[in-house]
């Protein structure tokens, strides 16, 4: 594939509802999209970095110059065979995985379109529908949270995940479980606890949770193994897993019994596939995480979720939960049984609405080989 040009765009799109985690609240997204032109086809990718360096060191304003100064020139330098070759090309740049993933995934996207096959097949997937869960942020009151859960259960979602932090955890779990004793429920702490709080974390065991996601430090794996020995609830790692070696180490030492895979966090589809394979070797299930993506990233998450070891419902939910209008056609829809149907169309099966991309774009720049 000869990549002729790369266009980077920043879009501002308001969220339908604010989203709050243990590190703060967001009301709208700065969505970073890349599109590439290669051999007459256009491929799209999304950089999932946040508005602030809170989930990861990478954020919107580190992504743009990193792509412009380093990553785009590496891609434009000479032709490559396929999406799977991007990671080696980017290897000299340390970190900046979300920026790398935006470009690598755009190349996979273009490759699937060029070969006229579905992206999910190109990735090696096999599932024909994928199970969906929802991630519900911290609300202004427990009553509001219960209302949200009720809405999502009625829509058919197969797993409810709530965000927790020290003053928003056992009290709300108590209320949820007394109303719904049997729903599949999990919590995500985004590193809101320390190992000094083992006694507190042990109390989560009473609520029959599918998992507790990332309870401790984002840059720590070993201490999660200590915690896993002390509690019954399964630990799922998110922030701590940046590549397949991290995954192997974590599973080897028993730091988690479940892994969340976010394609941006691990640097692109090729590394995501490797993390998936490592977990499969360890007989540990994975699920696909979300980063409040626009339809571009969402469509890629759906394709990735067709790999066989995505055995638990992902944070892959309908466009309308986030956006008044999503920038893809059709929008992502979840059926009443809580699944998304996988399309047989070439590429992602979703077309990018370039009219809407234009409408929301606040900043745009195109790079060519110089």
Active site residue 148: no
Beta carbon of residue 205, minimum distance to ligand OSB (angstroms, whole number): 22
The reply to whether 109 sits near Mg ion by the rule CB under 5 A is no
315 interface partner picked from ligand OSB, Mg ion, none, CB below 5 to 8 A per type: ligand OSB
Counting Cβ atoms within 10 Å, is residue 54 exposed (0-12), middle (13-18) or buried (19+)?
middle
Among 106, 225, 284, 292, binds ligand OSB (CB under 6 A): 292
Q: Which stretch binds ligand OSB (CB under 6 A): 27-35, 101-109, 289-297, 326-334?
A: 289-297
Give the integer Cα–Cα distance in Å for 5 and 137.
38
The reply to whether 169 sits near Mg ion by the rule CB under 5 A is no
290 interface partner picked from Mg ion, ligand OSB, none, CB below 5 to 8 A per type: ligand OSB
The reply to whether 188 sits near Mg ion by the rule CB under 5 A is yes
55 interface partner picked from ligand OSB, Mg ion, none, CB below 5 to 8 A per type: ligand OSB
Catalytic residue among 262, 273, 283, 320: 262
Per DSSP, the chain holds a count of helices (H) and strands (E) of 13, 15
The reply to whether 290 sits near ligand OSB by the rule CB under 6 A is yes
291 interface partner picked from Mg ion, ligand OSB, none, CB below 5 to 8 A per type: ligand OSB
The reply to whether 287 sits near ligand OSB by the rule CB under 6 A is no
β-sheet bridge partners, residue 162: 136, 187
- Collapsed DSSP state (helix, strand, coil) of residue 63: helix
Give the integer Cα–Cα distance in Å for 318 and 334.
6
Is 147 within 8 Å of 324 (Cβ atoms)?
no
Strands 212-213 and 185-188, bridge-based pairing:
parallel
- The interface mask with ligand OSB, positions 176-205, x = CB under 6 A, is ------------x-x---------------
The reply to whether 295 sits near ligand OSB by the rule CB under 6 A is no
Active site residue 163: yes
Measured from the CB atom, the residue of 36 and 132 that comes closer to ligand OSB is 132
Q: Which residue has the tokens 């090309």?
A: 89
Q: What single-letter DSSP state applies at residue 59?
A: B
Give the integer Cα–Cα distance in Å for 257 and 284.
6
Is 305 within 8 Å of 288 (Cβ atoms)?
yes
Measured from the CB atom, the residue of 108 and 287 that comes closer to Mg ion is 287
Is 56 within 8 Å of 49 (Cβ atoms)?
yes
Total residues in contact with ligand OSB, by rule CB under 6 A: 12
Beta carbon of residue 173, minimum distance to Mg ion (angstroms, whole number): 17
For the chain, the helix, strand and coil percentages under 3-state DSSP, each to the nearest 5: 35, 25, 40
Conformation bin of residue 30: beta by default, left when phi > 0, alpha when psi is -120 to 50: beta
Which of the residues are catalytic?
163, 262
Chain contacts with ligand OSB (rule: CB under 6 A): 21, 55, 135, 188, 190, 238, 289-292, 315, 317
């Amino acid at each position: 594939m000869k990549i002729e040009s790369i266009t980077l765009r920043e879009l501002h799109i308001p969220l339908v509802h604010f989203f709050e985690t243990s590190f703060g609240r967001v009301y709208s997204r700065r969505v970073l999209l890349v599109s590439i032109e290669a051999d007459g086809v256009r491929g799209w990718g999304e950089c999932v970095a946040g508005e602030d360096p809170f989930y990861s060191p990478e954020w919107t304003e580190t992504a743009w110059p990193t792509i412009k100064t380093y990553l785009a020139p590496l891609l434009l330098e000479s032709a490559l065979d396929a999406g799977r070759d991007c990671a080696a090309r980017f290897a000299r740049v340390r970190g900046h995985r979300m920026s790398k993933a935006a470009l690598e995934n755009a190349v996979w996207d273009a490759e699937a379109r060029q070969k006229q096959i579905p992206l999910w097949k190109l990735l090696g997937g096999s599932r024909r529908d994928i199970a969906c869960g929802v991630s519900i942020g911290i609300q202004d009151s427990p009553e509001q949270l219960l209302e949200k859960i009720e809405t999502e259960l009625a829509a058919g979602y197969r797993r409810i995940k709530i965000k927790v932090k020290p003053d928003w955890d056992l009290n709300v779990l108590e209320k949820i479980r007394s109303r719904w004793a049997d729903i599949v429920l999990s919590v995500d702490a985004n590193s809101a606890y320390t190992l000094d709080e083992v006694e507190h974390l042990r109390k989560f065991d009473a609520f029959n949770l599918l998992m507790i996601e990332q309870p401790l430090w984002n840059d720590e794996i070993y201490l999660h193994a200590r915690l896993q020995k002390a509690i019954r609830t399964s630990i799922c790692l998110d922030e701590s897993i940046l590549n397949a070696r991290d995954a192997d180490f974590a599973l080897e030492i028993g730091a988690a019994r479940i892994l969340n895979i976010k394609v941006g966090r691990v640097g692109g589809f090729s590394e995501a596939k490797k993390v998936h394979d490592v977990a499969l070797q360890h007989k540990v299930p994975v699920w696909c995480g979300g980063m409040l993506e626009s339809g571009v990233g969402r469509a890629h998450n759906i394709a990735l979720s067709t790999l066989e070891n995505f055995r638990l419902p992902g944070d892959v939910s309908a466009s309308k939960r986030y956006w008044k209008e999503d920038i893809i056609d059709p929008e992502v829809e979840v059926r009443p049984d809580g699944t998304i149907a996988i399309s047989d169309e070439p590429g992602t099966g979703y077309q990018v609405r370039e009219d809407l991309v234009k409408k929301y774009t606040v900043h745009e720049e195109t790079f060519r080989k110089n």
